Structures are given as structure tokens and as C-alpha cells.
Amino acid sequence: MSISILLPMRRLAAPLLAALLGLALAGCGVNNVPTLEEAAKARWSEVQNQYQRRADLIPNLVETVKGFAAQEREVLTAVVEARAKASSVKVDASTITDPAKFKEYQDAQNQLSGALGRLLVTVERYPELKSNANFLALQSQLEGTENRVTVARRDYIQSVQAFNTEIRTFPGVIWARLFWGAKAMETFAATAGAERPPAVKF
């Protein structure tokens, strides 16, 4: 083979080898996108699980309070209606990539949290209710659930952050577009007014 043919081949071989080496190294992360996506979906399922646990406890809480505070119908009705609305929002796998559906779900859950907060403030007027064993058990369950919701939301936010970072940075952005068609996932925002501490009056 003549030297004039070998020289151009060597010049082409170096960039081609570099490109192949780059692809091989980048290929190591091809499974990161679906792995992180599945982790975020699992965390989302846990958020829903904790919200469902809270929704399941509310009817018992309402019935317990109703027996003591019959005149507080407006507050009890608000809790029941907020629970019904939160439970009626349809949630599926697409919710976490659809900003409008995600906001609707978050708003319904925030409304329920607000109604529950008003109910617990109302209970302060009924010392005999505050010392009732059933109420205390339910209140403890709800407090535990609210803590679980907070932890589940935190874990979901961290998983979404990892996923969204992966699909926006190299080489994940390549795999996300070429193979997976991945979309950025939504995350929770703070409730309006959450920066202000609640007023406590005795």
C-alpha cells in the first residue's frame, strides 16, 4: 500500500477513534435516565400513598369531632368537601410531567391541609374533646401522617431533582432525547403564606 494512501487513513483514524471512545464512555450512562425516572415515580407513589392514608383517617376524625362540636358544622363540612375534592382529582403517571395537572393535585391537597388546620384550631374550644381518647389517637395518627407526607414529598423532590438534572446535562440529555423521550418532572412548591407562622391565641 502506498504511503500517500496510508497518511489520509491515519488522519481519519484519530478523530474516528476519539469519537468512538467518547461514545463508549458516554454509553455508560445510557441507563441512568430510566433508572432515575423509575426512582422518582416510586417516590411519587409514596407521596400518593401518604395522602391516601390521610384521606382515610379524616372520616373518623370528623365523626369524633361531630359528636362533641355539633355546632361547628361549617368547619366539618369544609373538611369533608376538601377531602372529597382532593380524592376526586385523577392522578396517573402523566401527572408528574404535566404542570397543570400537577398544580391541580397540589392545590387540592393544600386546600385539605388548610381545612384540617382550621378544624384542629376549632377543637381548641372543646376541652372535653381534646382529652377524649379517640380524638387523641386520631390526632396522633394525623400528625404522624403529616410528617410522613413531608418526608415523602422531600424524597420525591430529591428524586425529581436528580432525574431533571440527568436529562438536562451531558451525556444524559443525549440519551433522554434519542432513546427515552423523557420530559422534565414537576415538583412541589411551597404553599402561599407558608413563610408566615400561624397565629396562636389562648
Q: Residue ranges of the domains in the chain?
A: 45-153
Q: What is the pTM of this model?
A: 0.77
- Among residues of the chain, what percentage have pLDDT more than 70? 81
Q: How far apart are CA 71 and CA 125, in angstroms?
A: 12
HSE on the CB side for 195, CA within 13 Å? 2
**Can you tell me whether residue 121 is helix, strand or coil?**
helix
Burial annotation 28-52 (CB, 10 A radius, 16+ → b, else e): ebeebbeebbebbbebbebbeebbe
Considering the domain delimited by 45-153, tell me its CATH architecture: Up-down Bundle (1.20)
Question: Could you tell me if residue 122 is left (phi over 0), alpha (psi between -120 and 50 degrees) or otherwise beta?
Answer: alpha
Question: Residues in the chain with pLDDT < 70?
Answer: 1-14, 17-28, 191-202
AA letter at 191: T
pLDDT tens, position by position, 30-51 = 789 999 999 999 999 999 999 9
Q: How far apart are CA 29 and CA 13, in angstroms?
A: 25
Query: If you ran DSSP here, which 8-state letter would residue 71 be given?
Result: T
- Among residues of the chain, what percentage have pLDDT more than 90? 49
Q: What is the distance between the terminal CA atoms of the chain, rounded to a whole angstrom?
A: 97
AA letter at 165: T
Helix/strand/coil percentages in the chain, nearest 5: 80, 0, 20
